[in-house]
Amino acid sequence: MLKRLVLVAATAAAAVFVRQKAKQQQAEQDLWTQATDDVRASSTPTPMSAPTPSPAPTAPIDEPPAHS
């Protein structure tokens, strides 16, 4: 009778251990999935429109303003 009780207790402990280990592995897999999804989403090329040209300066930047 005592052997059966020990066997049942050991089986229950092993089941709890295996379940916790599976939860930990799933949590780590979820983290990796989240991290790699972000990288994959940001690395996909998106069509870009032509850049808008900036307005031309009205006076040269190198020259100081003329004094009157």
pLDDT tens profile 52-62: 777 766 666 66
| Predicted pLDDT of residue 46 | 61
pLDDT of residue 28: 96
pLDDT at residue number 53: 73
pTM of the model: 0.48
- Low-confidence residues of the chain: pLDDT under 70: 38-50, 56-66, 68
Task: Quote the tokens at residue 41.
Answer: 């989403």
Token output for 17: 């251990």
CA distance 38 to 16: 33
Q: How far apart are CA 12 and CA 19, in angstroms?
A: 11
Q: What is the pLDDT of residue 57?
A: 64
